[in-house]
A and B are shown apart, each in its own frame.
Chain A
Amino acid sequence: MVMLKVEELLVDYMTVRGVLRAVDTVSFNLDRGEVLGVVGESGCGKTSLGLALMRLLPENTKRVDGRILMDGVNLLEVPMENFIRDFRWRRISMVFQGSMNSFNPVLRIGFQVAEPLMVSAGLERDKAMAEVERLFRMVGLPADTLRRYPHELSGGMKQRAMLAMALTLRPEVVILDEPTSALDVSIQTQIMNLLKKLKKELGLAMVFITHDIGLSSDICDSIAVMYAGEFVELGPADEVLVNPKHPYTQKLLAATPRVRGGGMLEFIPGSPPDLVNPPSGCRFHPRCPFIISRCNTDRPGVFHSDGVDVRCWLYG
Chain B
Amino acid sequence: MGDTLKELLLVEDLRVFFSYRPGFFTKKLVRAVDGVSFSLAESETLALVGESGSGKTTLGKATLLLVKPTAGRIHFNGRNILTLDEKELREFRRYAQMIFQDPYSSINPFMDVYHIVEEPLLTYKTWSEDERREKVYKTLERVRLTPAEEFARKYPHQLSGGQRQRVSLARAIILEPKYIVADEPVSMIDASSRVEILRLFKELQRTGGISFLYITHDIATARYFSERIAVMYLGRIVEIGDTEDVIQEPLHPYTKALIESIPEPDPRNRFVERPTVMGEPPSSVNIPPACRFHPRCPYVFDKCRTDDPSLRAVGRNHMVACHLY
Q: B-contacting residues of A (Cβ < 8 Å)?
A: 35, 41-42, 154, 156-157, 184-190, 192-193, 196-197, 211-221, 237-238, 241-242, 251-253, 255-260, 265-269, 271-272
Contacts and interface: CB of A to CB of B under 8 A. Distances in A.
B125 interface: no
A217 B191 contact: no
B264 A258 contact: yes
29 contacts: A42-B190, A157-B280, A186-B51, A186-B276, A186-B277, A187-B280, A188-B261, A189-B261, A190-B276, A192-B274, A196-B270, A196-B273, A212-B191, A217-B269, A217-B270, A218-B263, A221-B270, A237-B267, A241-B265, A242-B267, A257-B221, A257-B224, A258-B220, A258-B264, A259-B223, A259-B262, A265-B195, A267-B194, A271-B190
B218 to A, nearest CB: 7
Q: Top 5 closest A-B pairs, CB basis?
A: A189-B276, A257-B220, A267-B195, A268-B192, A184-B51
Contacts, number: 127
Given A185-B262, A193-B273, A252 B192 contact: yes
Given A186-B51, A251-B192, A238 B267 contact: yes
B195 A185 contact: no
Contact of B280 (A154, A188, A215, A257): A154
B265 A214 contact: yes
B6 interface: no
A6 B193 CA distance: 31
B219 interface: yes
Given A260-B264, A265-B224, A184 B269 contact: no
Contacts of B196: 267, 269
Given A186-B257, A217-B263, A255-B195, 8 more contacts: A157-B280, A186-B276, A190-B278, A196-B270, A216-B265, A217-B267, A257-B223, A258-B220
A238 B224 CA distance: 26
Contacts of A187: 280
A41 B190 contact: yes
A267 B192 contact: yes
Interface string B44-71: 0000000110000000000000000000
Nearest to A181: B187
Name the prevailing secondary structure of the B interface residues: helix
B199 interface: yes
Contacts of A211: 190-191
Contacts of B276: 185-186, 189-190, 193
Contacts of B52: 184
Given A187-B280, A259-B223, A268-B192, A215 B258 contact: no
Given A185-B51, A212-B191, A257 B218 contact: yes
Interface string B250-266: 00000001110111111
A272 B190 contact: yes
Interface of B: 51-52, 160-163, 190-196, 198-199, 217-221, 223-224, 247, 257-259, 261-267, 269-270, 273-278, 280-281
Contacts of B190: 41-42, 211, 271-272
A267 B261 CA distance: 24
A251 B266 CA distance: 16
B274 A218 contact: yes
Q: B162, B223, B269 — which one has the most chain A CB atoms within 10 A of its CB?
A: B269
A185 B261 contact: yes
A192 B269 CA distance: 11
Contacts of B192: 41, 251-252, 255, 267-268
B194 A255 contact: yes
A237 B270 contact: yes
A187 to B, nearest CB: 7
A190 B263 CA distance: 12
Contacts of B247: 259
A218 B262 contact: no
Contacts of A214: 262-265
Contact of A256 (B51, B191, B193, B273): B191
A42 B281 CA distance: 30
A203 B63 CA distance: 51
A212 B218 contact: no
A134 B163 CA distance: 48
Nearest to B160: A271
B191 A271 contact: no
Contacts of B258: 185-186
A193 B233 CA distance: 23
A213, A253, A260 — most chain B CB neighbours (10 Å): A260
Contacts of A220: 267, 270
A271 B264 contact: no
B8 to A, nearest CB: 26
A156 B220 CA distance: 22
Contact of B270 (A218, A259, A266): A218
B259 A259 contact: yes
Nearest to B162: A271
B266 A217 contact: yes
Nearest to B199: A267
A42 B191 CA distance: 10
Nearest to A180: B263
A213 B265 contact: yes
Contacts of A221: 270
A47 B199 CA distance: 30
